[in-house]
Amino acid sequence: MWLSVALAAAVGLAFAGASLASGGFGWRDVAGVAVLVAAASVAEAFPVPIEGVAVGAMSLATIFLVAGATIYGWAAGAVAGFLAMVLVEVGRRRPFSRIAFNCGVYVLAGMSAGGAAADLHSGTLPQLVLGAIAAAIAFYLVNITLLAAVVSRSRGLPFVPSFRNYVHLTLVPFTIMASLAVILVVLWDRSPFVAVVLVGPLLATAFYQRWIHGALDRLREFDRLKDEFIAIVSHELRTPLTSVYGAAVTLRQQAIDEEQRSALLDIVSTEAARLARLLDDVLWVSRLDSGRAKAFITKVEPLPLATTVVEATRTHLPPALSVELRHDPAPPAVAADPDKLRQVLVNLIENAVKYSGEGRIEVGLHRRNGKMRFSVRDQGPGIPPNQRERIFEKFYRLDPNMTLGVGGTGLGLYICRELVEAMEGQIWVDSVPGEGTTFSFELPIAASS
């Protein structure tokens, strides 16, 4: 398909070249075509997304190419179509067949437009307008017929529904572009310099459309995040609630011994703690997103704080895990917000517990490069190199379908990074897949007073 379009266009271009070379084309005409080709290339390079009308982005190049073909004839139309497309497509490094097809479409469309307007461009004003309208329609029909043909061919669909679909999606923007092409032709006929007045409204329309499209894209993204948030949080709420409910129902039965009773109470307290952590995460995210998580920096003694967190972890550590705190002899105070610092440590240690399952967890507190470095090292599965940035994104999880049976919201590390950065620190991860992971963050040392 692409080959026949390209061949037909090549033959057309050859005739067009011959026709132009045979004379009648002055330097003013060459300059006029060059300006229109430049405008069409810019329009082609920066297509305008049209909200709710077209699926992809529309190029306004049609306006300039139709005007060029109406004013300067079919041969100029073919050459202008070719140049406008080839400049942009080669710049985009598209595959050859695609470049050949797209250029072919514009050459054939440009020729048809010029042909449809023939003999009218030297006539009266109404004739000129009619010529431009005929040119626009011809350009449009050739363009969408070929596009629909190639799309229906490649997807194995019948041609007529594809064509109808294209018309449905592009008719409104096309009508507007056709009117603009007519205006351009009429102005250009007066003087190409007068036509410059179209630049302002065209640029304004293009920028405004792009801006609207960007704003709506952001809204759609918010909406998607909200849905994801609700889905994840409700799923994460349900799991511990089911366990607590199950344990409570069993506890009500009289016939359980002391050992079972204490195991069930363990479940209730661990799952309740999990619920509390989840709600903490959600609250932190809401505070961070609404800018209410300002850090109140004071002087914080890191050793007592880390010791409390490590001791608290020990109380509910699975039997296959151990946790240790290693630190410099007398770690200096850091400039931090104590609540936020505690939250970051809790999140990192909880992750180490959750994802490593067995082995040793080492919490470190060392002075490095004039800062205080906190680290949490585990002997878990590790994190592949290409995921080490992404895990800090909101909702990002390595195992979203929980094939390994470990639940989570993907919020913990996002919160850690935001909190550490709010305290003027930095957080990062080092990991050897299969051997373990070390999360580290550095905070400034408090000025001694």
The answer to the question of residue 408 lying near ligand ADP (CB under 6 A) is: yes
Angle between helices 258-289 and 338-356 (to 10 degrees): 130
Pairing of strands 298-300, 436-444: unpaired
Cβ distance to ligand ADP smaller for residue 293 or 352: 352
Q: Is 413 in the site for ligand ADP (CB under 6 A)?
A: yes
Binding segment (CB under 6 A) for ligand ADP, from list 46-54, 107-115, 165-173, 397-405: 397-405
- Residue 394 bridge partners (DSSP): none
Which of 62, 102, 209, 409 is close enough to bind ligand ADP by CB under 6 A?
Answer: 409
In the complex, least distance from residue 408 CB atom to ligand ADP, rounded to whole angstroms? 2
Number of residues that bind ligand ADP (CB under 6 A): 20
d(CA 378, CA 436): 5
Residue in 44, 189, 362, 378 binding ligand ADP, rule: CB under 6 A? 378
Cβ at position 297, least distance to ligand ADP in Å: 24
**Range list of β-strands (E), 127-235:** none
CA distance 10 to 161: 29
Cβ at position 376, least distance to ligand ADP in Å: 8
Distance between CA atoms of residues 405 and 381, nearest Å: 14
412 belongs to the binding site for ligand ADP (CB under 6 A):
yes
What is the number of residues in the chain?
Answer: 449
Q: What is the spatial distance between Cα 195 and Cα 9, in angstroms, rounded to a whole number?
A: 30
351: contact with ligand ADP by CB under 6 A: yes
As measured in angstroms, the least distance from the Cβ of 304 to ligand ADP is: 24
Looking at 32, 114, 410, 425, which residue binds ligand ADP (CB under 6 A)?
A: 410
Q: In this complex, which beta carbon is closest to ligand ADP, that of residue 65 or of residue 411?
A: 411
Angle (CA) 433-282-245 rounded to 5° is 90
Q: How many whole angstroms separate alpha carbon 340 and alpha carbon 263?
A: 33
- The stretch among 26-34, 198-206, 253-261, 392-400 that binds ligand ADP (CB under 6 A) is 392-400
Q: Which residue has the tokens 């132009």?
A: 20
CA-CA distance, 44 to 99, in Å (whole number)? 13
Q: Least distance (Å) from ligand ADP to the CB of residue 411? A: 6
Does 355 help bind ligand ADP (rule: CB under 6 A)? yes
* Contact flag: residue 364 with ligand ADP (CB under 6 A): no
Q: What are residue 184's phi and psi, to 5 degrees? A: -60, -45
- Choose the stretch contacting ligand ADP; rule: CB under 6 A; options: 66-74, 94-102, 146-154, 389-397: 389-397
36: part of which helix (H) or strand (E)? helix 27-45
Q: Is residue 380 a contact point for ligand ADP (CB under 6 A)?
A: yes
Cβ 11 to ligand ADP, closest distance in Å? 59
356 touches 321 (CB < 8 A):
yes
Residue 7 has phi, psi (to 5 degrees) of -65, -45
Pair 162, 152: CB distance under 8 Å = yes
Could you say which of 40, 83, 120, 391 contacts ligand ADP (CB under 6 A)? Answer: 391
Among the listed residues 243, 379, 437, 440, the single contact to ligand ADP using CB under 6 A: 437
By CB under 6 A, residue 381 contacts ligand ADP: yes
CB 13 within 8 A of CB 56: no
Kindly state whether residue 398 participates in binding ligand ADP, applying the rule CB under 6 A.
Answer: yes
User: Could you list the residues that contact ligand ADP (CB under 6 A)?
Assistant: 351-352, 355, 378, 380-381, 383, 391, 396-399, 408-414, 437
